[in-house]
Amino acid sequence: DARVTQTPRDKVTEMGQEVTMRCQPILGHNTVFWYRQTMMQGLELLAYFRNRAPLDDSGMPKDRFSAEMPDATLATLKIQPSEPRDSAVYFCASVEQGASTEAFFGQGTRLTVV
Query: Residues interacting with other proteins, by CB under 8 A?
Result: 31, 33, 35, 41-43, 45, 48, 50, 55-56, 91, 93, 95, 97, 101-103, 105-108
CB of 81 to other proteins, least distance (A): 27
CB of 47 to other proteins, least distance (A): 10
Rg (CA), the chain: 13
Cβ neighbours for 101, distance < 8 A, ≥ 6 positions apart: 95
CB of 103 to other proteins, least distance (A): 6
State which residue, 10 or 14, has the beta carbon closest to other proteins: 10
State which residue, 41 or 71, has the beta carbon closest to other proteins: 41
State which residue, 25 or 108, has the beta carbon closest to other proteins: 108
